[in-house]
Structure formats: structure tokens, C-alpha cells
Amino acid sequence: MQTWKLGALTGALMLVSSALANIEEDLSTVLKFGPRVAGSEANEKARAYFEAQFQALGYMTRRDVFTYPRFDDLGSDVRVGTRTLAGRALEGSTGGTVSARVVRVPGVGTPENFRAVNVRGQVAVVQRGQIPFLEKARNALAAGAAGLIVVNNEDKELQGRLGERTELPALAVSSSTGAGLRNDERVTLNVRVRDGEVRGVNVVAFKSGVTRPEILFGGHMDSVLRSPGANDNLSGTAAVVEIARRTATTPMAQRSYFVLFDGEEDGLRGSRAFVKENPLLVQGLKAMFNFDMVGVNVTPLNVSGESRLVDIARQAAQIAGSSPDRGGSDQAPFAQAGIPTLFFHRGLDTNYHQPTDTLADPALIRATVDAALKTADAALLAVPAGR
Ligand code: BES
Ligand code: ZN
């Protein structure tokens, strides 16, 4: 499932059109593209920009392509008269528009609950809880419902999963939205979804001839839907590219690989694919450093991971550390493969995964790079050759 494109030709062409930039320019250029959701145009533009940066530094670049299924809610709601009520498609729901009456089903949507009312051709409204979403949907279908609304137990939106593709438009709403849906009222359920294959692309950069690197510097370049992902994770991407700039003409470049992972937000897709598809390279690594959310100081720079590497980072770069790490980013598949990892981060900020994630501080990214380079130097000295 992998196509390797050695970037020599495209690289030479791109060299002409791209000048070497710095962190500030990386941030301003790439933020203009918009949210970098895997598979989106902005994601591809950002990748092309960073490839050109690597190539201008004299690195080769390669694209590792992988695919995976993804379900997207493209914006779903319930219309009541002139009012539009927010809702979220249950993952696995079919798309569609249903105009019908509301039938409030007593309870959570068991077969017994459905026997108490007649939902045939109507929009059934059930409470969250007790049985899986999939059972609620199957029971609604069996009772002849044309659509389903699941009401949350809390007054916030609910991101539910059916777990299987189900031939019923199904939406989840907050408790207050649910309480406002009156029996017999005419509503229009709008479920707009896309259920398809995503093409993810990792960028791999290295100096010509380097096939067995000792250290891999990585960070994810994708972001979540509707978030510009300045801190999560343009900051980490910029750190990786800046490390490539700083080491380009040093011996460290001969010992390093740089990887910009795609599909992290969809479940570490890019890093998992990389570990799976490059077993020899991965097994030869002495260390994998991952950078995720290093542009906003919620906590001072922190590393977590393999205890020996954490100690080295503490000593060499005076940074706080803990082991093991909390997972949740691209170091995890490497750690699972037995590779010593370090996860560089500055904590979850309040704009995490929000449209307001628009700022990353170049000075904090630079300080992260300083710390990572000191740690890398010390780590490669400390780890015996041929580990
Ligand atoms: N950037 C976060 C991970 C993170 C957490 C970085 C804490 C720094 C501090 C990452 O993009 C994310 O959202 N991960 C998910 C899990 C992933 C498998 C989708 C998470 O942590 O919930
Ligand atoms: Zn992230």
C-alpha cells in the first residue's frame, strides 16, 4: 500500500521556485492554507511547501502514501420551522434529508420502547444510554422510522458511533435541543455525511545515501476539521523542519530522518503506516523524537518517553520530563515497536482542536529545537553503536 516517489526530479524543479524560509515564514505561509485535514487541498499545499523547504536544504524527499476509511459529518442539523438546531451525525449513519413528524419514543430505544408508539415514516427521538447506538438505530429501522435523533444526557453535543454503516439518517443532539423537540411537530432532519477512503501522505526527508538513520525527528502535519492547527501541530511540524535546517550541513544530517506524518488526528494513521512499512529502518533507530504542540506554553517544555532518554534530556537540555508518556501522538507506534522515544510537548492549550488554534510562538518552537538538538547530540553519544 505504499508508493515511493524519490523526489530528485520534482525536487530539482522545486528548488528553483522556493527559497529557504524560517519559522516565522513557515507559520505565516502554511496558516494561510487553512485547516490541514488529511485528504484536503490545504493539507497537500502544506506538504508541497515543506517538501520544497527540505529540498532547498539539500535533502531528498519521498512520499509514503497510505489509505484508510474515514467518516465525516459535513454539517448536519434539524430544522423546526425557521429554527436550525445543531446536531452531529452518528458515525456510520447514512446521509439524507427527512421531513416528517417527531415521535418521542419513551426511553432509550429498546424494541419495547418502540412498541409503545408508532414511528412508521417519522423521526424517532430517543434518549442516550443503556444500549449501544447501533441497537437504537436497528430498533428504529425495524419499527419503520425514517430518521433517528438521539438526545444526549448532558447539555452538550454528542459525537456518537454506530460502529457499522446503517441505512438510517441518525443524528445526536444536546439535552436542551432534545427537550425542545415536541411530539407531532414537523421537522426536517438534515444529515450530510461522507463515508470514504482517505489518502494519507507522509513526507520523508533524508540526505542522499542515508538508509539506516540513527534518529528520526517527526511531527504530524494534519489538523482536525475546522481547526487551523497552529499549535496542533504546525508548531511541531515547524520544529522538525527547523531541526532539518539547523543540521543540514552537519554530521547529524547523515544520522537523521525527518518525517511529517499525515492522518495523526484520524488515529495515528501516518506513524502506524510508517512503522509497518519501514521495519528495517525503524528497528535500526536509536531514538525517535516526536514534536506535538510545542508553540504555546501551557506547561514549560516537557518530554516524556523512555526513561533513559528522558534522563538525557533533563541533563543535556534542562527540561522537565516524565516516563512513560501519555500516548496520543506519533511516538506511540514507535514505542510499541520497541524504539526509544521522546515526546516533546508544552501541554494542551484551551484552543486545542478549536477554530481558535491560530497562534504558535516562533520563540517557543526555536527553544524546543535547541533543547531537542542538545538532547539528540547527547543521546547519540550515550547509546552504544549497533544497539
Ligand atoms: N496533539 C494531540 C496530542 C497531545 C496531547 C499533544 C497532549 C500534546 C499534549 C494529538 O493531535 C491528539 O489530539 N491526539 C488524540 C489521540 C489521537 C490518536 C487521535 C488525543 O490525544 O486524544
Ligand atoms: Zn497533535
pLDDT per residue as tens digits for the range 142-173: 999 999 999 999 999 999 999 999 999 999 99
Nearest ligand to the CA of 294 is 1
Report how far Cα 324 is from the mean position of its chain's Cα atoms.
21
For the cut 90, the answer to whether the pLDDT of residue 181 exceeds it is yes
For the cut 90, the answer to whether the pLDDT of residue 12 exceeds it is no
For the cut 80, the answer to whether the pLDDT of residue 9 exceeds it is no
Angstrom distance (rounded) from CA 379 to CA 340: 10
For the cut 60, the answer to whether the pLDDT of residue 119 exceeds it is yes
Nearest ligand to the CA of 267 is 1
What pLDDT is recorded for position 384?
58
- Name the DSSP class of 372: H
% of the chain with per-residue pLDDT over 90: 91
Residue having the nearest C-alpha atom to atom 18 of ligand 1 = 267
Angstrom distance (rounded) from CA 206 to CA 147: 52
Gap from CA of 35 to ligand 2 centroid (Å): 13
Q: How many residues does the chain have?
A: 387
For the cut 50, the answer to whether the pLDDT of residue 321 exceeds it is yes
**What does the block give as the cell for 165?**
454503516
Q: How confident is the model at residue 6 (pLDDT cuts 50, 70, 90)?
A: very low
Q: Mutate which of 292, 336, 349, 354 to test ligand 1's pocket (most atoms within 8 Å of Cβ)?
A: 292
CA dihedral 180, 181, 183, 184 (to 10 degrees): 130
Q: Positive or negative CA dihedral for 320, 325, 330, 335? A: positive
Angstrom distance (rounded) from CA 250 to CA 258: 15
Q: Which of 79, 70, 67, 60 is nearest to 8 (CA)?
A: 60
Q: Is 251 in the pocket of ligand 1 (CB under 6 A)?
A: no
Q: What is the mean pLDDT of residues 91-104?
A: 97
3-state secondary structure of 14: helix
For the cut 70, the answer to whether the pLDDT of residue 3 exceeds it is no
**What does the block give as the cell for 58?**
539539500
Q: Which amino acid is at 334?
A: F
Domains of the chain (ranges plus CATH)? 2-70+197-382 (3.40.630.10), 75-191 (3.50.30.30)
Q: Is 144 in the pocket of ligand 1 (CB under 6 A)?
A: no
For the cut 90, the answer to whether the pLDDT of residue 327 exceeds it is no
What pLDDT is recorded for position 366?
98
What pLDDT is recorded for position 383?
65
Angstrom distance (rounded) from CA 166 to CA 118: 21
- Name the DSSP class of 131: S
Angstrom distance (rounded) from CA 232 to CA 294: 8
Q: How many Cβ atoms from other residues are within 10 Å of residue 201's Cβ?
A: 23
Q: Look-up: residue for cell 519521498? A: 62
Gap from CA of 133 to ligand 1 centroid (Å): 25
Q: How many Cβ atoms from other residues are within 10 Å of residue 365's Cβ?
A: 27
Contact predicate 333/274, CB 8 Å: yes
Q: Which of 118-127, 315-324, 372-381 has the lowest mean pLDDT?
A: 315-324
- Which has more confidence, 331 or 7? 331
Q: Is 214 in the pocket of ligand 1 (CB under 6 A)?
A: no
For the cut 90, the answer to whether the pLDDT of residue 73 exceeds it is yes
Q: What is the mean pLDDT of residues 351-356?
A: 97
Q: What are phi and psi of 196, to 5 degrees?
A: -150, -175
What pLDDT is recorded for position 4?
36
Q: Which H or E run includes 178?
A: helix 175-179
Angstrom distance (rounded) from CA 59 to CA 51: 9
Q: What is the mean pLDDT of residues 51-80?
A: 96
Residues forming a β-bridge with 80 = 83
Bridge pairing between strands 83-89 and 186-191: unpaired
Angstrom distance (rounded) from CA 360 to CA 381: 32
Q: Mutate which of 262, 329, 344, 368 to test ligand 1's pocket (most atoms within 8 Å of Cβ)?
A: 329
Q: What is the mean pLDDT of residues 18-28?
A: 92
Angstrom distance (rounded) from CA 377 to CA 387: 16
Model pTM score: 0.87
**What does the block give as the cell for 153?**
444526557
